[in-house]
């Protein structure tokens, strides 16, 4: 069976940058093809592959986490930031926004302000995936309904 939309695919992969830095290796990752469980460009790169197939997929920044955007640098008065004086460059914080939580990297701490970077850590990076497809199966109806593989999600009441 080949990788196609609506099928559950199991992969092993390694992820590296242009300079050869390995960002991670994962084994036995299951996702539902066509449901944006993984980067769409990666899905496209392994479409049609079957168990035992290996693919190299290179994603340019716009197809991965976007270009680095200097306008996503945010300067906030230090008095408006909880524990602002305890922050140090390189730390990550979670900010609450009207659209939900946002991860911000502290890039600079000044006497009166803190500079945060709201770009994804991999923004502007070309990503190199070495992928092995280990299994492909038809998705169960409930997996298609919930948009991901795995146990049936519980419905919440109330």
**pLDDT digits 0-9 by tens, 27-76:** 999 999 999 999 999 999 999 999 999 999 999 999 999 999 999 999 99
Compute and round to an integer the Cα radius of gyration of the chain. 20
- CATH class name, domain 7-65+124-146: alpha beta
**pLDDT digits 0-9 by tens, 108-133:** 999 999 999 999 999 999 999 999 99
d(CA 150, CA 110): 47
d(CA 1, CA 7): 9
For residue 157, pLDDT over 70 is answered with no
Going from N- to C-terminal start, the domains of the chain cover 7-65+124-146, 70-117
d(CA 120, CA 81): 21
Torsion of CA 84, 89, 93, 95, to 10 degrees: 60
Cα angle value 149/23/57 (rounded, 5°) = 65
In sequence order, what are the residues at sequence separation of 6 or more whose Cβ sits closer than 8 angstroms to the Cβ of residue 133? 3, 9, 10, 11, 46, 49, 50, 51, 52, 53, 54, 55
d(CA 42, CA 36): 10
Give domain 70-117's CATH number out of 3.40.50.720, 3.40.640.10, 3.50.50.60, 2.40.10.330.
2.40.10.330
What is the rounded average pLDDT of the residues 84-108? Answer: 92
Please tell me which residue, 27 or 151, carries the higher pLDDT value.
Answer: 27
Is this prediction's pTM over 0.85? no
């Amino acid at each position: 069976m080949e990788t196609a939309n609506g099928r559950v695919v199991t992969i092993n992969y390694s992820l590296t940058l242009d300079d050869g830095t390995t960002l991670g290796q994962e084994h036995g990752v299951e996702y539902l093809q066509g449901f944006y469980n993984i980067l769409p460009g990666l899905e496209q790169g392994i479409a049609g592959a079957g168990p035992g197939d290996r693919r190299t997929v290179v994603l340019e920044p716009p197809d991965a986490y976007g270009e680095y955007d200097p306008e996503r640098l945010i300067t906030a008065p230090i008095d408006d930031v909880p524990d602002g004086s305890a922050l140090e460059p390189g730390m990550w914080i979670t900010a609450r926004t009207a659209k939900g939580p946002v991860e911000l990297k502290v890039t600079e701490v000044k006497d009166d302000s803190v500079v945060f970077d709201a770009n994804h850590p991999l923004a502007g990076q070309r990503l190199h995936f070495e992928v092995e497809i280990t299994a492909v199966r038809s998705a169960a109806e409930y997996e298609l309904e919930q948009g991901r593989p795995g146990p049936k999600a519980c419905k919440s009441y109330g």
